[in-house]
């Protein structure tokens, strides 16, 4: 028997109904805020990701699904959405006009070769937002506020927004130099990977999960980013926080917060929920002012975020009972073969009138059909047999109170509409 691959899974009804609801809420939240939906391919040239995410990152070094196609080109299943959206914006010249803003969102699967566990899959889904064309701290605050509004709309009330600033290039250079100086005496004690990171991408040492590295990074004399922010970067960060205060959005300043992708500058943020445990974020994002230009586009201020849909749903399920699939409005029940064909045709008449209708394909026993209708929670069944055919009617059973009535063929739609409105 062939099974779904490790780290992948099927979304079945009624769970798929929950998925559709969350994605519909995302669409309406972001459309209302003036964002347009973008859908990009799930595979791209490998270079797109190595260049944007950074060579010395866990994603690029260990987690990409990279393969050669039949022409020997190196392709990668997208591990995240931002690089793809940036590529599409440059390719379609969406950012070429001076002062042009692009506000986009995406919903779709991402792929990372990670060790599968609760809340960590190899194919997982993200809902993401990208704002291009502004360096203003209000854009950062808008991204964070939108994320919080979306979470509130799907039913979260007590989320934590964790916030930090990486500053601009000058701040990051100063911080890297300070880190290098402070870590130099401990270099030989770091894990092998971090010894390499020390030279190539020292910020990643802060992300390391190996106990010795964590211990070293927790030392009191470790420099913090906040100490190295340039005055302009500090002012930007202060303005983001003021804007969040204006909306009453609570946040936590987390000076040690870093994110696993290299392209971030200035504000970075993460949203966590107590139900997921300390390390697992529901979503995160930040500003990435250098990326568009680095990928061949014009200089463009940009900020965005991505939410993991699986984690969001895990946290939601921990809070609420799963919703039931909505039952149909009407189940048609056929007592003989001819009635089966009639139910098919009348079923479509009712569906075309906008009613949710179930009809049988096979002439099962009436008892079996009634049992299935009862289990589905349908409010009305319409029974058709020889007597009904001769009289030009359906027998309508109200499943709640068990009462029966006759409904004429010619007025079927109108009468059923009235009954459904009353129920
Ligand atoms: P990132 O692109 O790494 O910032 O991830 C953004 C969000 O996507 C995270 O906060 C998670 O909610 C989700 N996420 C990342 N990787 C995975 C994964 N392997 N499985 C499930 N969700 C993930």
Model confidence pLDDT, tens digit, residues 129-172 = 999 999 999 999 999 999 999 999 998 887 889 999 999 989 98
pLDDT computed for residue 285 by the predictor: 97
Q: Is the CB of 7 under 6 A from ligand 1?
A: no
> In angstroms, rounded to a whole number, what is the distance separating the alpha carbons of residues 44 and 51?
12
> In angstroms, rounded to a whole number, what is the distance separating the alpha carbons of residues 335 and 387?
10
How far are the Cα atoms of 320, 346, 386, 397 from residue 390, in angstroms, in the given order? 50, 16, 6, 19
pLDDT surpassing 80 at residue 277 = no
Q: Is the CB of 310 under 6 A from ligand 1?
A: yes
Q: Which of 62, 263, 311, 315 for a ligand 1 pocket mutation test, highest count of atoms within 8 Å of Cβ?
A: 311
pLDDT computed for residue 73 by the predictor: 98
Listed residue (269, 260, 263, 271) closest to 302, CA to CA = 263
Model confidence pLDDT, tens digit, residues 162-204 = 999 999 989 989 999 999 999 999 999 999 999 999 998 898 8
Angle at 422 between CA 421 and CA 423, to 5 degrees: 95
Q: Which of 59, 124, 147, 204 for a ligand 1 pocket mutation test, highest count of atoms within 8 Å of Cβ?
A: 124
Distance 246 CA to ligand 1 centre (A): 29
Residue nearest to atom 11 of ligand 1 (CA): 308
SS3 content of the chain, % helix, strand, coil (to 5): 45, 20, 35
Model confidence pLDDT, tens digit, residues 37-78 = 999 999 999 999 999 999 888 899 999 999 999 999 999 999
DSSP annotation string for 75-109: EEE-S-SHHHHHHHHHHTTTT-STT--EEEEEEEE
Residue nearest to atom 14 of ligand 1 (CA): 308
Question: Which neighbouring-strand residues pair with 367?
Answer: none
Q: What is the share, in percent, of the chain residues with pLDDT greater than 70?
A: 99
How far are the Cα atoms of 12, 14, 176, 301, 375 from residue 17, in angstroms, in the given order? 9, 5, 47, 37, 18
Q: In 121-185, which ranges are continuous DSSP H helix?
A: 137-154, 169-183
Nearest atom in ligand 1 to the alpha carbon of residue 81 is 2
pLDDT computed for residue 160 by the predictor: 87
Distance 252 CA to ligand 1 centre (A): 20
Which two tokens mark 241? Answer: 């926080």
pLDDT surpassing 70 at residue 214 = yes
> In angstroms, rounded to a whole number, what is the distance separating the alpha carbons of residues 375 and 416?
21
Q: What is the mean pLDDT of residues 263-275?
A: 90
Q: What is the share, in percent, of the chain residues with pLDDT greater than 90?
A: 80
Q: What is the dihedral of CA 153, 158, 159, 162, to 10 degrees?
A: 140
pLDDT computed for residue 14 by the predictor: 86
Q: Is the CB of 282 under 6 A from ligand 1?
A: yes
Model confidence pLDDT, tens digit, residues 361-410 = 999 999 999 999 999 999 999 999 999 999 999 999 999 999 999 999 99
Nearest atom in ligand 1 to the alpha carbon of residue 112 is 19
pLDDT computed for residue 159 by the predictor: 87
pLDDT computed for residue 279 by the predictor: 57
pTM of the predicted protein model: 0.90
pLDDT surpassing 70 at residue 278 = no
Q: What is the mean pLDDT of residues 221-234?
A: 91
Q: What average pLDDT does the structure give for the chain? A: 94
Nearest atom in ligand 1 to the alpha carbon of residue 285 is 4
Q: Is the CB of 312 under 6 A from ligand 1?
A: no
pLDDT computed for residue 100 by the predictor: 80
Q: How confident is the model at residue 96 (pLDDT cuts 50, 70, 90)?
A: confident
Contact 104, 129 (CB under 8 A): yes
Distance 136 CA to ligand 1 centre (A): 26
Q: Is the CB of 168 under 6 A from ligand 1?
A: no
Give the pairing type, strands 281-287 and 265-272: antiparallel
Contact 258, 206 (CB under 8 A): yes
pLDDT surpassing 70 at residue 351 = yes
pLDDT surpassing 60 at residue 17 = yes
Residue nearest to atom 8 of ligand 1 (CA): 308
Which two tokens mark 43? Answer: 């595979």
Q: Is the CB of 284 under 6 A from ligand 1?
A: yes
Contact 34, 158 (CB under 8 A): no
> In angstroms, rounded to a whole number, what is the distance separating the alpha carbons of residues 420 and 423?
5
Nearest atom in ligand 1 to the alpha carbon of residue 260 is 3
Q: How confident is the model at residue 326 (pLDDT cuts 50, 70, 90)?
A: confident
Residue nearest to atom 10 of ligand 1 (CA): 283
Q: Give the H or E element holding residue 19.
A: helix 15-32
**Tokens 């990928």 found at:** 295
Cis peptide before 299 (omega within 30 of 0): no
Distance 77 CA to ligand 1 centre (A): 15
Q: What is the dihedral of CA 275, 276, 281, 282, to 10 degrees?
A: -60
Q: Is the CB of 281 under 6 A from ligand 1?
A: yes
Listed residue (91, 135, 119, 84) closest to 105, CA to CA = 84
DSSP 8-state code for residue 402: -
> In angstroms, rounded to a whole number, what is the distance separating the alpha carbons of residues 386 and 383?
10
């Amino acid at each position: 028997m062939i099974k779904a691959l490790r780290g992948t899974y099927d979304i079945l009804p009624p769970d798929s109904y929950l998925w559709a609801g969350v994605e519909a809420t995302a669409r309406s939240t972001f459309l209302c805020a003036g964002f347009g939906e973008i859908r990009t391919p799930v595979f791209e040239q490998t270079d797109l990701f190595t260049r944007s995410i950074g060579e010395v990152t866990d994603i690029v070094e260990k987690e990409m699904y990279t393969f050669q196609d039949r022409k020997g080109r190196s392709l990668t299943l997208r591990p995240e959405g931002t690089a793809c959206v940036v590529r599409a914006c440059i390719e379609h010249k969406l950012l070429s006009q001076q002062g042009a803003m692009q506000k986009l969102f995406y919903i779709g699967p991402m792929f990372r070769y990670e060790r599968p566990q609760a809340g960590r899959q190899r194919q997982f889904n993200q809902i993401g937002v990208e704002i291009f064309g502004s360096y203003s701290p209000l854009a950062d605050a808008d991204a964070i506020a939108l994320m919080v509004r979306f979470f509130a709309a799907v039913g979260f009330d007590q989320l934590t927004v964790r916030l930090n600033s990486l500053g601009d290039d000058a701040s990051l250079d100063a911080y890297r130099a300070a880190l290098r100086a402070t870590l130099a005496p401990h270099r030989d004690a770091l894990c092998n990977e971090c010894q390499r990171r020390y030279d190539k991408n020292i910020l990643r040492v802060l992300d390391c999960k190996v106990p010795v590295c964590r211990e070293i990074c927790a030392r009191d004399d470790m420099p913090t980013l906040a100490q190295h922010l340039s005055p302009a970067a500090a002012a930007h960060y202060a303005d983001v926080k003021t804007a969040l205060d204006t909306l009453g959005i609570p946040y936590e300043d987390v000076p040690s917060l870093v994110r696993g992708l290299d392209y971030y500058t200035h504000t970075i943020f993460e949203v966590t929920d107590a139900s997921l445990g300390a390390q697992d974020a529901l979503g995160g994002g930040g500003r990435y002012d250098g990326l568009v230009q680095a990928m061949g586009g014009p200089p463009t201020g940009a900020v965005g975020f991505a939410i993991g849909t699986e984690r969001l749903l895990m946290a939601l399920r921990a809070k609420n009972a799963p919703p039931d699939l909505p039952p149909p409005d009407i189940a048609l029940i056929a007592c003989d073969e001819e009635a089966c064909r009639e139910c098919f045709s009348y079923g479509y008449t009712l569906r075309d009138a906008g009613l949710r209708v179930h009809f049988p394909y096979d002439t099962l026993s009436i008892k079996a059909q009634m049992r299935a209708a009862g289990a589905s929670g349908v409010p009305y069944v319409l029974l058709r047999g020889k007597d009904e055919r001769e009289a030009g009617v359906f027998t309508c059973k109200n499943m709640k109170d068990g009462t029966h009535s006759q409904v004429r063929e010619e007025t079927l739609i109108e009468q059923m509409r009235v009954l459904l409105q009353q129920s």
